[in-house]
Chains A and B, each alone.
Chain A
Amino acid sequence: MKTRSMAAPRKLQATGASPGTASGPVYLAERPTLVPMPVAPRASDPGTLAQAVETAVAALQDLADRVDGDSRGIIDFQIEVLRDPTIAEMTEERVSAGEHSVFAWVAAIDAHVAELEGADEEEVRARAVDILDIKNRVLGIWSGTPIEDFPAGSIFVGKDIEPSRFLGHDWSAGGGIVLFGGSAAGHVALLARAKSIPMVVGCDRFDVATDSQVRIDGDAGMVFLDEQAEGLSSAPARVPSQTHAAAIDHGKLQTSDGVPILLSINVNDPSEIDGIGATTTAGIGLMRSEFAVRSLADAANEDKQFRIYRRALEWACGEPVTIRMLDIGGDKPLAGLDDGTGAMGMRGIRLLLARPEIARVQARALLRAAPFGNLRVLLPMVTFPSEIDGMRQIFAQEAELLLHRKIAHRIPQIGMMVEVPAAALMLDTFDNAEFFSFGTNDLAQYLAASARDGSDIRDYRDKAAAAVLRLIAQAMALSAGKPASICGDMAGNPSFLPALLAAGLRHFSVAPAQRPAIGSVLVGLNADGTRAAGD
């Protein structure tokens, strides 16, 4: 970075987008949040979609009454789309055909977005963004997690800011906006000028501590950083903090006799990765998307899912990130969805194929995230190869639609969980799976005919460990050398590691906290599972 004088604040030249000056504490939008999300899924009735739409209309109306000119035109257009009788009719048609109202509404909105995106005129194509914005706004209201607000009076600093986030914020205490990207002709710039909120766009990336002071001059397009507030790092802004000193080995270990082993992490809540250095693991061996998708509204929210998946991929810096598609049903119900009939019923890929509207949204989010890293998509509860064909078809169709809409995407590798005994025994018939991941918790409950949520029969599952290990060894022999890993509880139990190594497993995925302990056991073993000499 360029040198700077010791006394004066650092100045950055950018482009003014809305005049006036503002100063205040920084709100850095791109800093990974370390505040854990609430773990309990919503169980209460989320209210009707119509109520969410009306809440969004009321908020937009409130703003429309306070602005004029171009910005009012944008808001009026958004309100008019929310109240469009054709969208209401299309939604009702889909609902009477059996779709859930939120998916029906999203499909109706998306159809219109696709139509606008295909228009010849830039003026019309630009409206698609306004509609996507209200879609996300309504889904946020419906799921009870409105778009994250930032403290009143602060200076928003980030790559971009969504119109609805701008609209949802209370600007009465002042504040301003600094964007690393953005455009003075963009809609938020229009809105900012209408509300006299100073705004600067096209600024070089910088990093400051949250709550440090910054001053912006929207006329001159300048940003002034408080000297003492500047962070230790300049660009890049995102530096994963490490809570414990872990080896920078990228999760690539060796057994005592020199056989390469991969050690990666299982992730539940997407925010768990914030405290972990990406260099300490061979990527994410299992990301359970049920934690990113906590309600039906989330399941319908393509953009929210896309952001979460993309963030995990960017965090991993090119290491593989394995995201398991929604494994709902069984002991993991989704609030608002009545489907799902126990551990042996309609769950995992069975439910996804029976409810393709859920699968399609997730497939689109995954397809769009795939270009941002090394994505592997894992299908839960697969029993037969035809189920993988069914999901591949959904990915192919959605990829085709994204191509048509000129939206960047890539078809990721698609693999399967090996957790149903019938699949494990027939693993050589799954030509259409690109990789395998053993889920030992379900494998044990199905093999021992003892439900995993039945604590009184826990003993049965524990005693079945030998049968599970034998089945894994047989399945590994049928895996045709395709990448295979294990992500179930068994991988995190040191006493099973010799047998798992002997079965041929070379890739283990465990909870982040278990990683150091499991790693140190693995390097003390030979690849055949025997203890290293002299140990």
Chain B
Amino acid sequence: MSGSRLTIGEVEPLAAKCQTEIEVKHGVGLHARPSVTFTRLAKSFPCSIEVAVNGSDIWLNGKSIIKIMGARIRKGSILRIRADGVLAEEAIRALKELIERNFDEDKKHGRTT
């Protein structure tokens, strides 16, 4: 699993709960390609991952492309991401960094959208 690269040193993976909040800066929001990048990263972690958009109390499965695309996440949307289980902290950190890196979109295309 690609998730193993995110374990830190010799630390045993811990079952934990973790949550963060982040604003989406990406120009067009989470359309198909960034959503795929997001759910694939989420699926690489054993813990459950859920997303709530703009203060909603509906938590969506962060590993489900149809839920993430269906959430209509746009530039300026505030995402709350929570993880529960093994590697929860690492998962939250990795997903937050992915959003901060604009889903690696620039890298993939050598241009900004």
Spell out A's residues near B (CB within 8 Å).
69, 73, 76-77, 80-81, 83-87, 112, 115-116, 119, 121, 123-124, 127
Contacts and interface: CB of A to CB of B under 8 A. Distances in A.
Contacts of B63: 85
Given A69-B108, A80-B35, 4 more contacts: A69-B109, A73-B33, A83-B43, A115-B66
Interface size class of B (residues with CB under 8 A): 20 to 34
A85 B33 contact: no
Interface of B: 28, 31-33, 35-36, 39-40, 43, 61, 63-67, 69-70, 72, 108-109
A121 B31 contact: yes
5 contacts: A73-B36, A81-B66, A83-B43, A115-B66, A124-B31
Contact of B65 (A69, A80, A124): A80
A127 B32 contact: yes
Chain A to chain B: the 10 pairs with minimum beta-carbon distance, closest first: A86-B64, A80-B65, A73-B33, A77-B32, A112-B66, A80-B36, A76-B36, A84-B64, A123-B31, A85-B64
A91 to B, nearest CB: 12
Given A73-B36, A76-B36, A115-B70, A81 B31 contact: no
Contacts of A86: 61, 64, 66-67
A116 B70 CA distance: 8
B36 A85 contact: no
Contacts of A116: 69
A512 B61 CA distance: 56
Contact of B28 (A76, A81, A119, A123): A123
A85 B69 contact: no
A285 B46 CA distance: 59
B31 to A, nearest CB: 5
A166 B66 CA distance: 25
Contacts of B109: 69
A127 B34 CA distance: 14
A403 B57 CA distance: 32
A127 B63 CA distance: 18
A84 B32 CA distance: 13
A61 B91 CA distance: 25
Contact of A80 (B39, B70, B108): B39
Contacts of B61: 85-86
A117 to B, nearest CB: 12
A77 B67 contact: no
B1 to A, nearest CB: 14
Contacts of A69: 108-109
A57 B32 CA distance: 18
Contacts of B33: 73, 76-77
A73 B66 contact: no
A77 B36 contact: yes
Most buried by A among B32, B61, B69, B72: B32
A1 B96 CA distance: 63
A80 B40 contact: yes
B65 A84 contact: yes
Contacts of A73: 32-33, 36
A76 B36 CA distance: 7
A87 B32 CA distance: 17
Most buried by A among B28, B40, B69, B70: B69
Contacts of B31: 121, 123-124
A519 B63 CA distance: 65
A166 B32 CA distance: 21
A115 B36 CA distance: 18
A59 to B, nearest CB: 18
Nearest to B66: A112
B64 to A, nearest CB: 4
Given A77-B32, A77-B36, A124 B64 contact: no
A385 B67 CA distance: 43
Most buried by B among A83, A84, A112, A119: A84
Nearest to B34: A73
B47 to A, nearest CB: 14
A163 to B, nearest CB: 14
A217 to B, nearest CB: 29
A181 to B, nearest CB: 24
B66 A87 contact: yes
A69 B43 CA distance: 22
Contacts of B67: 86
A123 B40 CA distance: 20
A81 B70 contact: no
A123 B33 CA distance: 11
A77 B65 contact: yes
A68 to B, nearest CB: 9
Contact of A127 (B40, B69, B72, B108): B69
A283 B65 CA distance: 47
Most buried by B among A73, A80, A81, A87: A80
Contacts of A124: 31-32, 69
Contact of B32 (A85, A112, A123): A123
